[in-house]
Amino acid sequence: MGIAVIPKGGHVLDKFESPASELPAVEFVDVSKSFGALRVIDNLSLRIRRSERVSLIGPSGSGKTTILRLLMTLEKPSEGTIKVFGGALSAGGRGLRESEVAPLRAKIGMVFQQFNLFPHMTALANVMEAPVQVLRMPKPDAKALAESLLERVGLKEKGASYPSELSGGQQQRVAIARALAMKPQIMLFDEITSALDPEVIGEVLDVVHSLAHETKMAMLVVTHEMGFARDIADRVIFMEKGRIVEEGNPAKLFASPDNIRTKAFLNAVKR
């Protein structure tokens, strides 16, 4: 895959042609997002293939997290179109009706910086909640699913614990299990280690790495852990001021970035 240096206001659709038979998992077309006078996403276009793993890196305020939030419908774009597997999540700067959005949103899962577990439910109940309430899965099936997912994230014994009784790393692993319970085809990881103590970051990243090996989900990862960004991704995107500055193969981009701003950023975080 080539390196695309994006001219001001330009976009990259032509760099990522996928066969017509295979719609991209995610497609942003000329998307902008403003909060008042602040333009957080600036006329950005982006395609993510099925099963592709993409890391988003860049300084704070560069719009990485906003991309995930737009995709999760936690924000509406001010302009542009966002599509998921060919279906429009928002178009022409407007959100669409809930009945149109819900089936698309069902394909997306998200893990948050602050975990956002439901504090009034046990770990097991957190994982069972959406399958039972949203998918109407029978409780015994949901329980079996939740138990297997907790086991998968290494928390088989913690099903009966409340989030307040778990460490940050454990809470985040429950949050991953909770998102997996909805069987998403696209997973969004929003700075999932930023709120964690250094000694538990590894256990969370290990879970994500194993997911990357064992599943075919597309993954969109926003992180400040540069080693993780490099190792998890098929493609790394460096953003600044709401635009894609440079993107490409992780080994290449981290070793010898083409853009001077990418270089400056990587030098700054290395220190």
The structure tokens listed for 41 are 């996403």
Q: Under the criterion CB under 8 A, does residue 97 sit at the interface with other proteins?
A: no
**Which of these segments, 2-10, 37-45, 100-108, 257-265, binds other proteins (CB under 8 A)?**
100-108
Within the chain, strands assigned E span 4-5, 26-35, 38-48, 53-57, 79-84, 87-91, 94-95, 108-111, 186-190, 218-222, 235-240, 243-248
Rounded CA separation 217/219 (Å): 6
Q: Under the criterion CB under 8 A, does residue 120 sit at the interface with other proteins?
A: yes
DSSP 8-state class, residue 191: S
Q: Under the criterion CB under 8 A, does residue 136 sit at the interface with other proteins?
A: no
Residue from 137, 182, 200, 266 binding other proteins (CB under 8 A): 182
Give 204 or 236: the residue with its C-beta nearer to other proteins: 204
**What does the CA dihedral 213, 219, 224, 225 come to, rounded to 10 degrees?**
0
Q: Under the criterion CB under 8 A, does residue 159 sit at the interface with other proteins?
A: no
Q: Under the criterion CB under 8 A, does residue 158 sit at the interface with other proteins?
A: no
Q: Under the criterion CB under 8 A, does residue 17 sit at the interface with other proteins?
A: no
CA angle 271, 219, 42 (to 5 degrees): 70
Q: How many residues bind other proteins (CB under 8 A)?
A: 28
Residue from 77, 109, 248, 250 binding other proteins (CB under 8 A): 109
Residue from 98, 140, 199, 216 binding other proteins (CB under 8 A): 98
The structure tokens listed for 131 are 């399958």
Contact assessment for residue 221 and residue 232, using Cβ atoms and an 8 Å cutoff: yes
Q: Under the criterion CB under 8 A, does residue 167 sit at the interface with other proteins?
A: no
What's the min distance (Å) between Cβ of 123 and other proteins? 12
Name the residue among 176, 250, 253 with its Cα closest to residue 217. 176
Between residue 67 and residue 96, which ones bind other proteins under the rule CB under 8 A? 72-74
User: How long, in residues, is the chain?
Assistant: 271
Q: Rule CB under 8 A: which residues touch other proteins?
A: 72-74, 98, 102, 105-106, 108-110, 112, 114, 116-120, 129-130, 133-134, 162-164, 175, 178-179, 182
